Amino acid sequence: DESVKSAYVNEESAERMAKTLSKLRGAALKLGQMLSLQDDHAVPPQLQAVFNKIRASAHVMPQAQLHSTLRSELGEDWRDRVRSFGEQPVASASIGQVHRAVLPDGRLVALKVQYPGVAASIDSDLANLRRLANYTGMLPRTLFVDNIIRVAKEELLAECDYAQEAAHTDRYRALVTEAEAANPALRGAFRVPAVIPELSSARVLATEWLAGGPVEAVERMGAGRRNAVASRVLSLTLLELFQWRFMQTDPNWGNYLYDAPSDTISLIDFGAAREYAKPFVDDYLRMVDACARRDRNAIMDTSLRLGFLTGDEPGEMHDAHVAAGFILGEPFATREPFDFAASQLSTRVRQHVPVMLKYRQRPPPNEIYSLHRKLSGFFMLCIRLRATIDCRQAFDAIRDDYQLDPVPVTPPAASGATDLTHGSAPHDSLGGGRPHETTLATGGAGSAGAR
C-alpha cells in the first residue's frame, strides 16, 4: 500500500526509525550492511539514512555494567592482571566496545567487551526487523530479505563468540607468518595481534595493541605509497580466498591500520573471519576467470552451478548479469596497471541493476554475502586511494599454484539456460586445468564487488 509506504519515506519518519532500530543496533547494522551489498540503490535513500544514523551513533555501557561484565567474564581479580585500565572506551561497535589497558609487563592491549544481552536478543531483534521490512514494503521482493536475515543470524551469532574470534586471530596470525616466510616481498608488510588468553573469554577479548590509523588515511599520501598499499591489500585478499580459503570478511577500513613510519598494515578484528569450501572457491575462480576473459558461456555455466541463476530467467536478465561480470573483470583483464578511480566501475555496473532486480529468481549463494562484503571493501579502498595497480600480475602469482578439481558432472541445464551463446567468446570451462585470468564475480546482483 503506497500510503503505508509513504509514511516511512520522509525525514521525520527516518529519524523515528533510527531511534527504534538503534535499540536493535547489532542486528540493524548487519541487515543494513548486507542489503547495501546487494545493491545500495535497491534500498530507499531514507532507509539508507536510517542505517547511517545508527552506524554513526555511539553506544557506551554504563560503568557499573562494564565492571559487572568484566568480573563475571574474567573473575573478581581481573584487575590484578593489568597495570592500568582505561575506563572510557576508545571505540564502540555494533556488539561491543574497546578499552585500552596496560599489562604488568608494560604491553599495551586492546580489551573488547561485549554488550550484555546482545547474543540472546539476536532472534527477537531480527524478527522485529523482518516485520518492519514486511510492513513498510520498502524493500524489493528480489532482495530476498528472509534469506538475508537467516544469514545475518548465523553471522551475528558467530561474531558474538569471542572465544572463536580468539582462535581465528591465532589462526590468521599463523597464516600471515607462513606467507611472509614463503614470500620475501610480504615480510614486514602485515601484523596480526597476539591474543592475551588470561584476559579473554566468550564475551571479552584482549589482544596486543597495534600502531596505526585507518588505512584510508593513505589517500593523503603520494601515488607511490597509495599504489603500494593497494597492491599489498590485493595480494592479501587473493591469498585469503585462493590459498588459505580463510578470510576476514569485515570490510570496515578501521580493521586495517596503516603505520607510516614502519610501512606496515596491522590487521585487527577477526569476528567475521570464515572458511570457504574448496568446491566453492574452485567455481568462484572459474567465474572470475570467465569475467576477465569476457567468456559469456563460461560465466553462465558457472553462475548456474554456483546458484546465482536458475537458468529460467529471461534473456534480458542473463544479458545484464553477464555485462556486469564483464565490467567487474576489467581490472584483471589488462596487462596494464588499472586505474580504479577513472574506471567508473560502480556507475557502469549500476546501470544493469534494475534489470537484475526485476528478474532475479533466487538469492545468491550464502557464501556470497560475506565474500562480496570483503571484495566490495577492496574495490572501494582502491577507488578511495585513487590506486593504479597491476591486478593481473597479482593474480598470476596466485594462479600458478592453484589446482582446480574437475567440474562435477551434472544433469543438463534447464531449458531456459540453453540459448546463451549470443556475444560469447570461445568457451573454456577450466574443467581441471589452470585458469587464465580472474575478476570479482557479480554476486547475482552485479554490483556487489564495485561499491
Greatest Cα-to-Cα distance within the chain, rounded to the nearest angstrom: 71
CA–CA distance, 287 with 160 (Å, rounded to integer): 33
Q: Once rounded to an integer, what is the mean pLDDT over residues 31-44? A: 55
Q: Is the pLDDT of residue 447 over 60?
A: no
CA distance 284 to 304: 12
What is the per-residue pLDDT for 25? Answer: 56
Residue 224 is predicted with a pLDDT of 97
Identify any residues that bridge with 274 across adjacent strands, giving them in sequence order: 247
pLDDT score at 100 = 97
Mean pLDDT of the chain: 83
The values of phi and psi at residue 371, to 5°, are: -65, -45
Q: Is 226 left (phi over 0), alpha (psi -120 to 50) or beta?
A: alpha
Cell of 281: 572457491
What is the C-alpha to C-alpha distance for residues 50 and 170, in angstroms, rounded to an integer? Answer: 36
Q: What is the mean pLDDT of residues 304-308?
A: 95
Q: Read off the pLDDT of each residue in 308-335 and give the average, rounded to a whole number.
A: 96
Exposed / middle / buried, residue 50 (Cβ in 10 Å: 0-12, 13-18, 19+): buried
Average pLDDT of span 407-429: 46
Q: What does the pLDDT read at residue 242?
A: 97
Query: What integer pLDDT is reported at residue 1 of this predicted model?
Result: 40
What string of H, E and C letters represents the secondary structure of the chain?
CHHHHHCCCCHHHHHHHHHHHHCCHHHHHHHHHHHHHHCCCCCCHHHHHHHHHHHHCCCCCCHHHHHHHHHHHHCCCHHHHCCEECCCCCEECCCEEEEEEECCCCCEEEEEEECCCCHHHHHHHHHHHHHHHHHHCCCCHHHCHHHHHHHHHHHHHHHCCHHHHHHHHHHHHHHHHHHHHHCHHHCCCEECCCECHHHCCCCEEEEECCCCEEHHHHHHCCHHHHHHHHHHHHHHHHHHHHHHCEEECCCCHHHEEEECCCCEEEECCCCCEEECCHHHHHHHHHHHHHHHHCCHHHHHHHHHHHCCCCCCCCHHHHHHHHHHHHHHCHHHHCCCCEEHHHHCHHHHHHCCHHHHHHHCCCCCCHHHHHHHHHHHHHHHHHHHCCCEECHHHHHHHHHCCCCCCCCCCCCCCCHHHCCCCCCCCCCCCCCCCCCCCCCCCCCCCCCCCCC
CA 380/CA 78 separation, integer angstroms: 41
Compute CA 183 distance to the chain's CA centroid, rounded to the nearest angstrom. 25
The vertex-284 CA angle with 143 and 448, nearest 5°, equals 35
Using CA atoms, how far apart are residues 46 and 134, in angstroms rounded to an integer? 16
pLDDT computed for residue 37 by the predictor: 46
- pLDDT at position 414 over 60: no
- pLDDT over threshold 70, residue 98: yes
Flag whether pLDDT at 27 surpasses 60. yes
Cell of 391: 591486478
Higher pLDDT, 81 or 24: 81
- Interior angle at CA 387, CA 187 and CA 29, nearest 5: 90
pLDDT at 185: 87
The stretch 137-146 carries a mean pLDDT of 78
269 is catalytic: no
Greater pLDDT, 52 or 276:
276
pLDDT at 418 over 80: no
Q: For residue 295, is pLDDT > 70?
A: yes
pLDDT band at 330; cut points 50, 70, 90: very high
Residue 51 pLDDT grade (very low, low, confident, very high; cuts 50, 70, 90): low
The predicted model gives 68-89 an average pLDDT of 96
Between these two residues, 204 and 426, which has the higher pLDDT value? 204
- Cα dihedral 347, 352, 355, 356, rounded to 10, equals -100
C-alpha cell at 32: 543494513
Contact by Cβ (8 Å): 429, 358:
no
From edge to edge, which strands make up the β-sheet containing 213-214? Answer: 190-191, 264-267, 256-259, 213-214
User: Of 355 and 139, which is predicted with more confidence?
Assistant: 355
| Catalytically annotated residue among 250, 283, 295, 301 | 250
Tell me what percent of the residues of the chain surpass a pLDDT of 70.
76
pLDDT (mean) for 142-154? 86
